[in-house]
Amino acid sequence: MILVAPECLKQIVDAAEAAYPNESCGLLVGHDDESSRVRIATAHPSDNLASDPRRAFEVDPALRLNLHKRLRGGPDDVVGVYHSHPDMRAQPSETDLARAWEPRLVWIITSVVAHQAVLTTAHRINEAGTQFEPMPLYTDDWRDAPTRAPMTYPGLE
């Protein structure tokens, strides 16, 4: 399960909409907690260095290097990447699969249609590196829906 701060998710979605029709991208910083959940605390935007930013993304390697240096010895680390899919589904593409290099990284993908974000999903590549698997994505202020006693309707039993 992925838990992301609401303001961080908003930042990811806003970046996706602003970059349209190009792909937005960046790195996610957080940590794995004791319950095998990934907690994402911050998103760090990157210029998209891909040769065709409408169909691919490439995070600036200097961003990752700088984050690793800054986070060294602390509880947080780079735990994932995010990017957008302009006019495509919020599912990993063949290009994403070909570029997935680390099984532990979370991939957050936002689908954008006509400048409007329509869906954001989370994925992780399997240990064999052969395909992405979906992961539940929640904001860290998410709570179970309230419950009540079952409704009864006289005469309809």
Please write the tens of the pLDDT for every residue from 113-144: 999 999 999 999 998 999 999 999 999 888 88
* Contacting residues for 117 by C-beta, under 8 A, at least 6 apart: 13, 16, 17, 84, 110, 111
Residue 23 annotated to the active site: yes
Tell me the sheet residues that pair with 132.
Answer: 125
pLDDT tens by residue, 76-99: 999 999 999 999 999 999 999 999
The residue from 7, 17, 23, 94 that is catalytic is: 23
Q: How confident is the model at residue 157 (pLDDT cuts 50, 70, 90)?
A: low
pTM, two decimal places: 0.90
Tell me the sheet residues that pair with 77.
Answer: 30
**Would you state the pLDDT for residue 64?**
96
* Contacting residues for 68 by C-beta, under 8 A, at least 6 apart: 77, 78
Torsion of CA 37, 25, 117, 76, to 10 degrees: 20
Instruction: Please give the average per-residue pLDDT across 33-48, as a whole number.
Output: 90
Residue 40 or 144, more confident: 40
Q: How far apart are CA 16 and CA 5, in angstroms?
A: 17
If one looks up domain 2-139 in CATH, what number appears?
Answer: 3.40.140.10
